[in-house]
Structure 1
Amino acid sequence: MPRQINLRQIEAFKALIESGTVSRGAEILSISQPAMSKLIAHLELDTGLKLFDRVKKRLAPTEHAIRLHNEIDRIFAGVRQVENAIDALRREEQGRLMIGVLPALAGSFIQRVIIDFLDKHPNVFCSIKTYSSHMVVERLVVRQLDVGLTNGRIDNPYVSFEPLMEDPLVCIMPLDHPLTSKKRVEPSDLDQLPFIGFDPDIYVSHLITKVLDTYKVQPNIILSATSAQPVCEFVAAGLGVSLVHPIMLDGMEHRVAVRPFDPDIMFHFQLARMADGRNARFAEALVDEIRRTASAISKRIVSDR
């Protein structure tokens, strides 16, 4: 009658399947080959299943073995998830920050901020959530977030806002575009030109449309997007030109040409948090890192215009 299997047998079986040979499996478990073979033999005996065929002095897994390994792999993946959860709970005891970021800043910008922050505060658990500006503020108010990054038109009496990265939009274009010959791009330069825009309900799109309408200019909008990353990628691919905030170009500086746009279309983001928010010490440290990173990127990109 089959006996109850044990964890060591499962570990030996998994090592054998994934390494391909008894010798390599034994090395993984730091045991001898005879001990490895004994564990596999006992597993077959205890399960009552033929798990391996002996082919040319090697063990070839049967269909039963493959199915069993798939199930074991699923279980081990669950164990790893539990281990990750335990690690997260340990880190939460030392500090936890919930950060809300609008899509425009959810790429390389927040990545730089968090990497530098964790380098100084390695035991803080950070969770990054990407939301619209309105949702960031809503979650700050109900204490689901500690710090938020929003666009410049959001307001709420319960939330403290600090202007961040206030700069004029710049014109970006493919590296070989005819407009690269100009030192500054004007509205008339964009008339009927292939243009990559933002969706109409995006705030920066309203600012751009207002200025171009004032100058009676109609670019040929060939596509639009809800965030800056695809806009910049389409420009880099040669599909058209666009107007974006300089911070959106972080990491793209060598893939697109950048020119100042006249007249200035000012746009800024906001740093948002509750005045009496939790995790005050770590939140303040994160805010300092956001300010520092934003200032460094803006100076670098704007100075290259």
Structure 2
Amino acid sequence: MKLRQLEALRAVVTSGTTTQAADLLGLTQSAVSRLITQLESELGLNIFDRRHGRLRITPEGQHFYDVVKKLLSGIDQITATARDIRTLKTGALRIIAMPALAYGLLPQTITTINKRFRQIKISVEMGTRLDVEEGVESTQFDFGIATLPINRQGIEVEPLFTADGVCVLPMGHELAKKSEIVAEDLADLPFISMNSGSLLRYQTDELFGRLGIHRVLSVEAPSTLLATNLVAKGLGVSIVHSFIASAYGDRVIAKPFTPTIRYEYGLLFPAAQTRSQITNAFVESLRDDLKIT
């Protein structure tokens, strides 16, 4: 039994004649008749009565056709679904990112992709750097965004961009008059730091430790977003990514910081999973948005 035989059966039943069925299938009338005859022979079943040059479906043939109709409907749905996936008319994209990166990078790209592919469902979760690594490696997410470096066999990494750290100050702070903040300026000042164990915390502590500069570590925050908010509330100063500071431009003062602390960010993909078309489209759009900014 071949799929083409079943399609010929459906065409004949729905159109009423082999001539019209041939037009529907793009075949000759004799080819359609041959497909029906072959199907009946293979099944050992008379699907049609042939009287006076007309085909009339038998009760047994009708029962068989009812099953065929459901089967072909399912196949049609499979074909349509494959077409929609191929043309990005349906599908889902799962992203996980560190909070500052989710807030700072994703909204514009999500807006762009949503306008182009309205039927694609996009879900975003936020987590620590470790959450991003584990979520991507376990293939719970199509890709993640986190600080680099990352070394896991189950993750493929692509560099995304670099950003220099800037010093953020509360509005009206005494250091605001300076064009650039140097590490010594922050000696013995209340400092909002990242939580212990984070890469950003390590980079900052290593720098000040190497220079022998003491800071008053008044508050620890799990993200640069919260750290910048706390600075805006006047609880201290901090060093954060430049792109996060720019998002709070009307609430904090951002100044270049020396020595430079450079942060690297990358895209994380599951090594065990082939990237989908929508993943590639999103990443391409994200890179384009970064070029513009």
Range into which the TM-score falls when normalised by the shorter chain? 0.5 to 0.7
Partner SS for 1:284:
helix
Whether the 8 Å CA contact 2:191–2:215 is kept in 1: the answer is yes
RMSD after superposition:
2.2
Instruction: State the 1:106 CA deviation.
Output: 2.7
Deviation, structure 1 residue 108: 4.2
Match of 1:27 in 2: none
The one of 115, 121, 131 aligned to 1:119: 115
Could you tell me how far 1:258 is from its partner in structure 2? 1.0
- With over 3 angstroms needed to count, the CA separation of the structure-2 counterparts of 1:141 and 1:220, relative to structure 1, is closer
- The yes-or-no answer on 1:149 pairing with 2:145 is yes
Q: Does 1:96 align with 2:92?
A: yes
Q: Residue 227 of structure 2 aligns with which residue? A: 231
Secondary structure of the corresponding residue to residue 180 of structure 2: coil
Counterpart contact for 1:165–1:295, Cα < 8 Å? no
In 2: Cα distance, 1:143 partner to 1:188 partner: 45
Q: How many residue pairs end up in the alignment?
A: 208
Higher strand share: 2
SS in 1 for 2:258: coil
State the Cα deviation string for residues 236-285 of structure 1 (Å, max 9, x = none): 12221110011222521222111111111111111111356356211011
Q: Which residue number in structure 1 is paired with residue 72 of structure 2?
A: none
1:219 Cα offset (Å): 1.4
> Equivalent residue for 1:240?
236
Letter in 2 for 1:257: I
Q: Is the 8 A contact 1:151 1:270 kept in 2?
A: yes
Partner deviation per Cα, 1:180-224 (whole Å, 9 max, x = no partner): 111111111000112111111111010001111111111112111
Q: How does 1:1-305 map to 2 (within 5 A)?
A: 94-274=90-270, 277-278=273-274, 280-297=276-293
In structure 2, distance between residues paired with 1:108 and 1:261: 20
Write the distance in 1 (CA, Å) between the matches of 2:222 and 2:291: 25
Which range moves more in the overlay, 246-255 or 175-184? 246-255
- The answer (yes or no) to whether the contact 1:170–1:243 under 8 Å persists in 2 is yes
Aligned residue identity for 2:214: Q
Q: Distance in 2 between matches of 1:175 and 1:137?
A: 36
CA distance in 2, matches of 1:177, 1:250: 17
Closer, same or farther in 2 for the Cα pair 1:228/1:286, shift >3 Å? Answer: same
Q: 1:196, 1:235 within 8 Å by CA — same for their partners in 2?
A: yes
**Partners of 2:108 and 2:245 in 1: CA distance:** 14
Residue identity opposite 1:216 in structure 2 = G
Larger C-alpha radius of gyration, 1 or 2? 2
Q: CA deviation at 1:111?
A: 2.3
Cα displacement (A) at 1:93: 7.8
Q: Give, as a single letter, the amino acid of the residue that structure 2 aligns with 1:144.
A: Q
Distance 1:274 1:245, change over 3 A: same
Q: How much has 1:127 moved relative to structure 2?
A: 1.1
C-alpha contact 1:169 1:267 (8 A) present in aligned 2:
yes
Q: Determine the structure 2 residue equivalent to 1:55.
A: none
Counterpart for residue 46 of structure 1: none
